[in-house]
Structure 1
Amino acid sequence: MLSAICSNIMLNESHQRCASYGLSETEHPDFSPIGRSDLSLLVEQNQVLHTHALPVMETLYEQIVNTHNMVVLTDANGVIVHALGDADFLEKANRVALQPGVSWSEEGKGTNAIGTAIVEKKPTLVHANQHYLVANHFLTCSASPIFNHQGNVIGVLDVTGDQRSYHQHTMALVRMSAQMIENNLFAAAFDEAITLHFHSRPEFIGTLMEGIASFSPSGRFLSASRSGLFQLGLPLSALQTHTFSSLFGLPVSALFDHYRTAAPSLLNLCLHNGVRVYARAEMRRTNMVFHNMTMPAADQEAPAQQARPAAPARAESFDNAARRLSSLRYLNTGDAQVQRLIDKVGKVLGRDISILVTGETGTGKDLLAQAIHNDSPRSGGPFVAVNCASIPETLIESELFGYEDGAFTGARKKGSIGKILQANGGTLFLDEIGDMPVSLQVRLLRVLQDRMVTPLGSTKSIPVNVALICATNRNLRDMIAQGTFREDLYYRLNGLVVKLPPLRERTDLEVVINRLLATESDGHPCKVSAEVMRMFKQHNWPGNFRQLTNLLRTAIVMLGDDAEIGVDHLPDDFLEDISHARRQEVADTVTRVVSDMTTLEDVEASVIRKSLEAHGGNVSATARALGVSRNTIYRKLHH
């Protein structure tokens, strides 16, 4: 009852604002969208919001499909950026231009869920004749503003449909979806920070009900989600003067110590107001949770008065940005091979089936592994990646299995638990598994079979529970034949084998390039010229995504204030490769033609025959066209 009263008051105030804008309830509003170039700029300016919102919108749409509704995303001013809708409702929606580029601000469209939610900064339901304009009375709209980590409205998520299709649960779905987008944006803004997930009830950790707060590695408060602000009981401005220690009564160093244990449990912390909460912390540095986390002596908790809000870290690459969003759906950018691969992987998630990812260097095997983890039931646990090719053979055993204090000369005091135990409860990703020494393959096989790890220098075996993903660019079957890879380990690893296609075989290159540009451009929208895009599509890309990412990163630096990457912005070595490829193509063509003709006379006769065909068999016309006599024609043909 109280909620309905508050809603009516809010709508009445909105109607009064509309009257003050000079709007008439019976007037026909302007539904014309902005121009195509302006719309492209709008999408580019809201690329981060759009990228994080799109998978959530698709999930929301799946829940309301065939209900005469559509899902709409707008910018902070109420201009539609993206929309998904039922075909049977789209025709009606087009009457009021629920399409990208149309503004639904309160000033222009009167009381409506999108515009009113922006003004009120709260979820808003506007049903049927609650709309100020009669033209919109056939609609029912549920909208929720989307806030960034600084507490500013950056967009609106809305479900709009025929007023006869109104359902009381739609608003709840929209609010939950908006919060999911906010959490994704929050994680992307602080991907290099300590992120604490907390709630007074442990079962709510990992759900939308949890609070989220981020801190610098030294413990300085950075920001908190809306749910986090509510549970902390302080406004964002007041929290900027705090540290991890002042908020939770625990030095940040103790947090690091807690996560060095093999199977860390939930933390039990006391808030500054005396309320006890359960918490789980994570820190993603090079995409490893609490990987080698040690606190330098100079990096202690900074005094509160010196604390300043940290700027969001710039995305390091397309792979890293995608990994923060990271889901298998996000990786599906339109290539049929990748679609089939994702479908296969989706069927084994959470089934205790090991996955072996093959493919050339740079095809994104590590990105796929992270997405598999994030979509699995173990997503709340650690993701620990080990590159078997980058660790010296003398150290890989201790790195993987850990060691006791004094196990060998130079061993770290108090020992180390090793990568396998760090991944306990989560996912262990062994990259370049083909480079693992044969002697260690035996130990790894035993761990996978027994689910027990025995650190070096210890007689005690520790239970371990990990999901296993391996990757290689080598042919393990050939290695088995050569005796450099154990056959029994191979069959333990290949529960599901999937192969990532090289970039040159993918059909979604343009989509991939646009995503890379959105990630690498650092807020400066840019695109690739048509000429350069043709060159990209013709190139062989031997280095795959790694080569493409580095090339675009260089081109963006060369771009300066320009908005389009042209040939002049490309590095010389790439242009030389393109030029060499074209010369080689011409040479190959000539070789193929000449190889089909054993002599010069054969070439001449072939040209004469084709000219004769073109002139309908007229020898005189052919001779004139070729600049030779008729006798020469007869002689060459009868040679």
Structure 2
Amino acid sequence: MTHRPGTPPTAPMAARPLTGQPDVIAQAHARSLQVGLRASETPDFHPLREPALRDLVGRNHSLYTHALPVMETLHAQIVDTQSMVLLTDDHGVILHSLGDSDFIEKANRVALCPGVSWAEADRGTNAIGTALVERQPTVVHADEHFLHANRILTCSCAPIADPYGRVIGALDVSGDTRGFHKHTLALVRMSAQMIENHLFSNQFADAVRIHFHARAEFIGTLVEGLAAFAPDGTFLSANRSALFQLGRPLAELQRQSFDELFGMAFPALLQQALCAPGECMTLTLPSGVRVIARGEFAAPRQLLPAAGLGADAGIAVAIRPAARAAVPVPVMTLAALDTGDAQMAAILRRVEKVRGRDIPILVLGKTGTGKEWLARAIHHDSPRRTAPFVALNCASLPDTLIEAELFGYEDGAFTGAKKRGSVGKIVQADGGTLFLDEIGDMPLAQQVRLMRVLQERTVTPLGSTRAIAVDLRIVCATHRDLRAMIEAGTFREDLYYRINGLVVTLPELGERTDLPELVSYILESQREGERVPVRVSATVLERFRRCRWPGNLRQLANVLRTAGIMAEGAQQIEVEHLPDDFLHDCDAMDGATGTQQANRSQQANPGDTLASPAHSSAQGNSVAGQHDHETAPHTQASPARMEDWQTTLIAQTLSRHGGNVSAAARELGLARNTVYRYLRRGQTH
């Protein structure tokens, strides 16, 4: 199969939800037949060569750089689900992927990898190609794929539009069909919208930007409306949410002024934003709907006369509005990381001993255990604290870009390179600290160049013959076994001994004893104003203690961020505010743990018997007591009778709460899905 790119879409992407999914799939199958594809065709295993892929990524540089951090966050939310996150250009060619190691091999069998086109013309009906044709979020599940080879996949994809509404790429999550979850598309859509908002803010960094929504608590969130205006009040563009709230297409809005759209004179807006930066005001849309809004701009001098202020006034307030819009980032120190766990305390004591000395540090640990937190603390508590801390995730960049990002490049070094070139991460970190995360994923060729930099303390950018002297401290991190990689020939031994002056291994979250303190610390660091709760209930904390946390601190931070948004206005985070996926995973872990405990107990004490429901009631109604009885061993009752008793217990709890599933689930310490599952089981008996 050869690459047959379609014409890039030029019309603004429709801001409409996916409707009529069967019709969408049927139409996509019809298009697949029209281009001459056969369902039995085998996947193309010839991706773009490295130079061509590097050029393609360079041509999509803005999309790529703004999407990478969002992809990492999305991958952390779906980690260990046998799936991967993919970014494509507007033709459907994969630019970058992040995936679970146990799924990558399966993905490679169907050519789901960078440099391969997943346009409909090449792969038939699939989420990426079909979403780009339809210009709307799309799910293609199992047999809905046109090619038989792709029917092992379930894919959820959302197109990504530029600040003017033109589709420039797509974000996709593809995984094993057995791991299909209906909420995946919602996560993908939110992530695509986050990328679009980042692109919007970057495009209009020097414009007047209006953040608005009918509800004040949504200002500063993903769903806020964003509109950009020129210094004279001329409309420039708006994001999806703004288009929806204004109720007009982009082409029509471009013919209107700020006064017509928001019912306020533009100079009055500027004056209020300059005099009271960061504060909200009430505006009125053409529909008559009142919205809460906040103006933001860098206050260039040409705006000041329109606001009725002199040129000198702008000097004092020029950066205040933008500064107020940013969420404060907590200062990371070694003392802040000492939250009561003995293992962490021992690690911090070892690190403390090399403070102020340029000894390279290698941080080992599973993904999400806080390796970058530690690296930032090491930098902050060193004499280099006033110089830059520069981080590079070697696993988040394709081989084609690591060299350019790390070592820099001259103008014209490769197709798509920025004018005036780029200094690279090493030069950016001069005088400070360079943190290389996931260094085990660095290609061998770049390992050789990094080794030379560490030896000579100079770096030569791509396309240049001029060596630049650098003075920096190196902190590296990885979840891989570097010694095993040395034996396999995939990691250089000489580089290993250059970066491991001090080696520390961070414990997994499930092994730590300071969970309550970590929860409080993360909630406080994520706090925005007074809207988000900064504590969790005792029930939630108990649920957290029973969780295995495969994503470690990163997973905990993501769960708390989502729960905090769901609990806005409440005094604390309750179980109903937690993501359903997380609750489901916890229930699955509880079930597996309970079975293992029962098996071990039966082997050790074959004469023990299960307490009857009557006896368990006598023990009290605590959730912990009920949980213990549910998982206790029972040699006289069959597994079927145990299930019957559990179903009866859930039914009784439901009855006591008048059929309220959420209330019953809270009392039992179960997810709502688990309650529903037991109810269905009871109806079939």
Are positions 1:195 and 2:195 aligned together? no
Are positions 1:500 and 2:385 aligned together? yes
Q: 1:346 to 1:249 in 2, by over 3 A?
A: farther
Deviations 1:206-244 (A, max 9, x none): 222211100112211110001111111111111111111
Are positions 1:15 and 2:29 aligned together? yes
Amino acid at match of 1:125: V
Deviations 1:429-482 (A, max 9, x none): xxxxxxxxxxxxxxxxxxxxxxxxxxxxxxxxxxxxxxxxxxxxxxxxxxxxxx
* Residue of structure 2 equivalent to 1:131: 145
Q: Kindly indicate whether the alpha-carbon contact (under 8 Å) linking 2:88 and 2:171 is maintained by their aligned counterparts in 1.
A: yes
* Residue of structure 1 equivalent to 2:405: 514
The structure that has the greater radius of gyration is 1
Equivalent in 261, 283, 293 of residue 269 of structure 1? 283
Q: Kindly indicate whether the alpha-carbon contact (under 8 Å) linking 1:67 and 1:165 is maintained by their aligned counterparts in 2.
A: yes
Equivalent in 230, 251, 258 of residue 244 of structure 2? 230
Equivalent in 169, 174, 177 of residue 163 of structure 1? 177
* Residue of structure 2 equivalent to 1:410: none
Gapped regions of structure 1 (runs ≥ 5): 300-322, 330-339, 349-358, 360-493, 546-562, 579-639
2 CA distance for matches of 1:520 and 1:212? 34
Are positions 1:295 and 2:305 aligned together? yes
Q: 1:236 to 1:514 in 2, by over 3 A?
A: same
Q: 1:507 to 1:203 in 2, by over 3 A?
A: closer
1 CA distance for matches of 2:250 and 2:414? 25
Post-superposition shift, 1:120?
A: 0.3
Q: 1:230 to 1:37 in 2, by over 3 A?
A: same
Amino acid at match of 1:197: H
* Residue of structure 1 equivalent to 2:132: 118
Deviates more, 1:148-157 or 1:27-36: 27-36
* Residue of structure 2 equivalent to 1:395: none
Which secondary structure state, in structure 1, belongs to the residue aligned with residue 92 of structure 2?
Answer: coil
Q: Kindly indicate whether the alpha-carbon contact (under 8 Å) linking 2:278 and 2:294 is maintained by their aligned counterparts in 1.
A: no
Gapped regions of structure 2 (runs ≥ 5): 1-15, 310-322, 339-355, 357-379, 395-400, 435-460, 471-685
Equivalent in 157, 178, 183 of residue 143 of structure 1? 157
2 CA distance for matches of 1:505 and 1:227? 34
1 CA distance for matches of 2:33 and 2:229? 46
* Residue of structure 2 equivalent to 1:219: 233
* Residue of structure 1 equivalent to 2:416: 525
1 CA distance for matches of 2:276 and 2:307? 25
Amino acid at match of 2:81: T
Q: Kindly indicate whether the alpha-carbon contact (under 8 Å) linking 1:29 and 1:108 is maintained by their aligned counterparts in 2.
A: no
Equivalent in 61, 85, 90 of residue 76 of structure 1? 90
Q: 1:522 to 1:201 in 2, by over 3 A?
A: farther
TM-score by length of 2: 0.47
Q: 1:344 to 1:78 in 2, by over 3 A?
A: farther
Q: Kindly indicate whether the alpha-carbon contact (under 8 Å) linking 2:123 and 2:147 is maintained by their aligned counterparts in 1.
A: yes
2 CA distance for matches of 1:178 and 1:538? 32
2 CA distance for matches of 1:544 and 1:293? 39
Q: 1:117 to 1:86 in 2, by over 3 A?
A: same
* Residue of structure 1 equivalent to 2:501: none
Equivalent in 464, 471, 477 of residue 566 of structure 1? 464
RMSD: 4.8
Which secondary structure state, in structure 2, belongs to the residue aligned with residue 140 of structure 1?
Answer: strand
2 CA distance for matches of 1:153 and 1:505? 32
Q: 1:523 to 1:250 in 2, by over 3 A?
A: farther
Summarize the alignment of residues 222-621 of structure 1 with structure 2, pairs less than 5 Å apart: 222-262=236-276, 265-285=279-299, 294-295=304-305, 499-500=384-385, 514=405, 525-526=416-417, 565-567=463-465
2 CA distance for matches of 1:90 and 1:96? 10
Q: 1:91 to 1:540 in 2, by over 3 A?
A: closer
Deviations 1:124-171 (A, max 9, x none): 000000000110111000000000011111110000000000001101
Equivalent in 48, 62, 65 of residue 76 of structure 2? 62
Q: Kindly indicate whether the alpha-carbon contact (under 8 Å) linking 2:208 and 2:296 is maintained by their aligned counterparts in 1.
A: yes
Are positions 1:39 and 2:53 aligned together? yes
Which secondary structure state, in structure 2, belongs to the residue aligned with residue 259 of structure 1?
Answer: helix
Summarize the alignment of residues 171-190 of structure 1 with structure 2, pairs less than 5 Å apart: 171-190=185-204
Equivalent in 87, 110, 119 of residue 105 of structure 1? 119
Deviations 1:397-446 (A, max 9, x none): xxxxxxxxxxxxxxxxxxxxxxxxxxxxxxxxxxxxxxxxxxxxxxxxxx
Post-superposition shift, 1:205?
A: 1.5
Post-superposition shift, 1:295?
A: 2.4
TM-score by length of 1: 0.50
Post-superposition shift, 1:526?
A: 3.1
Q: 1:524 to 1:38 in 2, by over 3 A?
A: closer
2 CA distance for matches of 1:345 and 1:223? 46
1 CA distance for matches of 2:258 and 2:274? 18
Post-superposition shift, 1:497?
A: 8.4
Amino acid at match of 2:304: T
Q: Kindly indicate whether the alpha-carbon contact (under 8 Å) linking 2:139 and 2:155 is maintained by their aligned counterparts in 1.
A: yes
Amino acid at match of 1:271: L
2 CA distance for matches of 1:523 and 1:243? 42
